[in-house]
Chains A and B, each alone.
Chain A
């Protein structure tokens, strides 16, 4: 066999699947053709074998039905006590799932996979319990009859005439499992039955005879063998695909089955599944919503659920024409085969070649069309389905039609004098159209006929009879009839489309509204609130959003729609926990924990389940339409994604903040380390020099050292003061004690201090005469000026003076201090005011990095602004401080005079 390169995606899926398999428990199914072949017996024997091998085996639940030989096998194995549930006065026993999960054996025996659990159990069906066990890593041995396979249900019915209700979906068997076929020749089985060794439930005794006939049993036995063989076959196919041996098999063509929700939908789904299975192809169930009110939504919903269980996709298409929508979908999704059932074919439509089948045949030439012959060709009457119309609605429509009819007739009477008979047709046409767009087709049709009658009766010669004497009138009237019929149909179809489109529009609008609100939400709380409110508005239900609060329990995060109780009851809370844990929907309208009044949907994102969204519909609403379900799921999905995004954004923000804080802390530490140590080193060095060698040195040197000690001590003091200022500014503890003071006073004081530090630097001060007084905290502004001057002095090369100017402009006092130094590049001019920023040019170790920050803080506290600009002529730097000028106090009139 030619080996092709295996498809990497398939291989990857296989690896992932293999890892999954390692984790999950293994399933072994003891399969039989009919009850009584000895499946439980064989299973128990296998369990004993395992025990002998030393494995930890526990009996979860085994039905012995009182057979002694079976009971004998059970003894000797550890049996888990069953859970007792009370239901309508009776005590029923079921598998105790939680106890078994806690016990966590290596292998658990769970009999009768297809059993339906009593109400009050966590899951509706036992196979769901088994699923949970497998998820938890426990291997499970179980028994099953061939008639319990979902996809074989109708075949079994054909064979035996008995329809089995309890089935296990085929998707359950998609995981790898072992099948042990327990075979017993039919004759022997019948013999056992006669000996009373076969358990038969009381209800089935009547059907017993037909069921256990030799021919039935033979057919079932063959079916069982085929099923077991099929399983092997599919394993083989998977192997081949992974190793690239079947190139053709890798190109899949989809099967599309169209259902109309009228009849035999489930049958069609099963047929499609078998077809798809045979070809190893994916398949989709499509329903075209034309807005027709005749759809049985229950039937449709059941069919969709069935499809999902069997492993197919479902889709609802919307549009006016069934065939067109189907073909367009088929084209877009790589469909090769379209499957439809026998449709109700109206004779007229067939005559015109307009049935769906004919349309598909005509337009869909590229596709294989499979028409399935349904077993019972009795077609349900249309009228049966229309019964769901509420009576008041129908009365209203008839009433409306009648009213319009009368009005039209009267109008025609009036116009009779002016128009020929033929012209009156327009009045009636208008009436027909008016009714058709607002009513159902039957009413519209009736209206058309009645208008015709009225037209004929009242307005054609001879009047007040239904006979027509003039040929021209005959033509006109019958032409009218045809036109009226056509109009009613057209208008009806338009109305149908409208209804369908409106529904689709609602769906889209709800999603869009939700999307907009989620996009605007900045944090998780807003996301949840938006989600809850939009869900309530769109679906008309109470909504709660529950999220994991770290720990296992879920806490309430948002609620909308005025929920009756503020908190979830303990049972509902437990259900929510379960949903968050398993990432599956539960509650009302589902198969799990369906006693709850809430429908709980998990919020799934890539990394797991964030929590659950609970929806409570009015208790009168027994079921959900497919659209509501899909809309709810889509909205919950959006909310989950948005919440995840919000959480990630918050994490990013805090990481950013953390790194900023870290940066500042590092800068502070290095600044303290250096700027405190340097003056200290000078002080200690000078002091120890004096102490050790003071006698050896000339007096001048001694004086210098003492001077060093003093000035460096002061430098230390200034630095500490800077730090304190910074902490005060930071903590908002700066209390301004303002006073009226002139800028020239402050400048001169600052310059004097500067001269002590930098005696060599020349400072020029130019203050415009008579500047207004400042109302500021003098010491702080003086400190700010000093810091700026110090900075300028450090940068100015010898010979270039530092220039300080002050003048008032636009109600502000502007002070500019310019140095002749190297200047600051434009991109740094804003950053020099940041903490611990030192321009890297030759100034490391001389600048604390805090000076200008303090300036910004102090000026800012007074409502002023400081900025750095390029010096005049592009040389050096100018620091400009602008302080607001209040109105100066008017001097006393007395003082002025004096």
Chain B
């Protein structure tokens, strides 16, 4: 029985700078992805609607539409994962688009590998985040989401209920950023969306227990003003 090769994932790049489109296209193609390009928001939406894509790389600074406008329109009829490219200064914008439906973001200028990691993370997580592997194990840290157990270097570590919930959410979205608001809303309730100090305390505790140095984090990375990201590479399962 001949195996039908699954077609390579298609990535749609929406950016008005031709040079950026060029190196993205070349790099993605070299890694085996199919690439479509669009230079404006309108064009991007059109291409997505007609040809579809498995992932969208969207630049925020488009000439004809604001990034979050494109996102809003897109989200009305598509669940395709979206990575947003943004300039470092606009954190509020980042939070806004992440809350508005984007799945991750990368700040310009960026190295290609950073983007690749995010692309891979998102494509891997296709299906639903809920279906993600119930256990994270990279050889040192093991997080069992189903049985609510954490062990580090073989020794079990006690986590409080809240601490585990936060860690679990980050691990489920491994590689992707989870906004503070998202964490607060889901784990503390919609009334506490602005109580970021709770979150900060809990994350500090988690780091401490994981032996993570916040200046050089191994597992829990802070995205200043936006949220947190779990950056563990799943080892051989």
Residues of A within 8 A of B (CB): 673-674, 677-686, 688-689, 692-693, 696-697, 701, 704-705, 708, 711-712, 842-846
Contacts and interface: CB of A to CB of B under 8 A. Distances in A.
A681 B61 CA distance: 13
Contact of B112 (A680, A683, A685): A685
Interface stretch (B23-31, B76-84, B120-128, B154-162): B23-31
Interface in B101-134: 108-113, 116
A704 B87 contact: no
Given A674-B87, A677-B109, A685-B112, A693 B31 contact: yes
A842 B116 CA distance: 30
Given A680-B109, A685-B23, A689-B27, A842 B64 contact: yes
A843 B19 contact: no
Nearest to A693: B30
A688 B109 CA distance: 11
B109 A685 contact: yes
A689 B21 CA distance: 12
A678 B23 CA distance: 13
B87 A685 contact: no
Nearest to A695: B30
B20 A682 contact: yes
B39 to A, nearest CB: 10
A779 B143 CA distance: 66
A693 B113 CA distance: 9
B137 interface: no
B110 A681 contact: yes
A701 B30 contact: yes
Task: Name which of A680, A681, A693, A697 has the most chain B CB atoms within 10 A of its CB.
Answer: A681
B225 interface: no
A679 B31 contact: no
A681 B30 contact: no
Interface string B1-38: 00000000000000011011011101101110000000
B138 to A, nearest CB: 22
Interface residues of B, number: 24
A756 to B, nearest CB: 15
A246 to B, nearest CB: 59
Given A689-B26, A693-B30, A842-B64, A681 B112 contact: no
Nearest to B113: A692
A683 B23 CA distance: 9
18 contacts: A681-B110, A684-B110, A685-B23, A685-B24, A685-B111, A685-B112, A686-B19, A688-B110, A689-B27, A692-B111, A692-B112, A693-B31, A696-B30, A697-B27, A704-B26, A708-B22, A845-B61, A846-B16
A843 B17 contact: no
A340 B27 CA distance: 108
B190 interface: no
List the 5 closest pairs (A to B, CB-CB), nearest first: A682-B19, A688-B111, A681-B109, A697-B30, A689-B27
B117 to A, nearest CB: 11
Contacts of A689: 23, 26-27, 30, 112
Contact of B89 (A673, A680, A842, A844): A673
Contact of A844 (B63, B111, B113): B63
B19 A845 contact: no
A697 B20 CA distance: 17
A673 B19 CA distance: 18
Nearest to A698: B30
Contact of B26 (A697, A711, A842): A697
Given A680-B108, A685-B23, A692-B111, 18 more contacts: A673-B89, A674-B87, A678-B20, A681-B17, A682-B19, A683-B109, A684-B110, A684-B111, A685-B111, A688-B111, A688-B112, A688-B113, A692-B112, A704-B22, A705-B22, A842-B64, A844-B61, A846-B63
B128 to A, nearest CB: 30
Identify whether the interface residues of A are mostly helix, strand, loop, or mixed. helix
B22 A678 contact: no
Query: Which of B19, B27, B63, B89 has the largest count of A CB atoms less than 10 A from its CB?
Result: B19
A685 B26 CA distance: 11
Contacts of A682: 17, 19-20, 22-23
Nearest to A708: B19
Contacts of B61: 674, 844-845
Q: Tell which of B26, B27, B61, B112 has the most Cβ of chain A within 10 Å.
A: B26
A692 B17 contact: no
A646 B31 CA distance: 71
A677 B108 contact: yes
A514 to B, nearest CB: 56
B26 A845 contact: no
A696 B28 CA distance: 11
A627 to B, nearest CB: 69
Contact of A712 (B19, B29, B64, B87): B19
Contacts of A704: 22, 26
A845 B113 contact: no
A692 B87 CA distance: 23
A697 B29 contact: yes
B23 to A, nearest CB: 4
Contacts of A711: 19
A254 B116 CA distance: 92
Q: Which residue, of A693, A711, A712, has the highest number of chain B Cβ atoms within 10 A?
A: A693
Contacts of B31: 693, 696
B214 to A, nearest CB: 26
Contacts of A712: 19
A627 B20 CA distance: 84
B87 to A, nearest CB: 6
A697 to B, nearest CB: 4
Contacts of A678: 17, 20, 108
Contacts of A843: 63
A681 B113 CA distance: 14
Contacts of B20: 678, 681-682, 685
B29 A686 contact: no
A674 B87 CA distance: 8
Nearest to B24: A685
A685 to B, nearest CB: 5
Contact of B87 (A677, A683, A693, A844): A677
A692 B108 CA distance: 18
Contacts of A692: 27, 111-113, 116
Nearest to B32: A696
A475 B110 CA distance: 125
A5 to B, nearest CB: 49
A673 B97 CA distance: 20
A845 B16 contact: yes
A842 B63 contact: yes
B63 A681 contact: no
Contacts of B110: 681, 684-685, 688
A713 to B, nearest CB: 11
A800 B5 CA distance: 47
A545 to B, nearest CB: 52
A320 B108 CA distance: 90
Contact of B17 (A684, A688, A845): A845
Contacts of A680: 108-109
Nearest to B40: A842
A697 B112 CA distance: 14
Interface string B194-226: 000000000000000000000000000000000
Contacts of B23: 682, 685-686, 689, 705, 708
Nearest to B27: A689
Contacts of A674: 61, 87
Contacts of B113: 688, 692
A397 B195 CA distance: 99
Contacts of A677: 87, 108-109
A159 to B, nearest CB: 81
B219 to A, nearest CB: 24
B130 to A, nearest CB: 32
A679 B111 CA distance: 14
A35 B21 CA distance: 105
A693 B112 CA distance: 9
A684 to B, nearest CB: 4
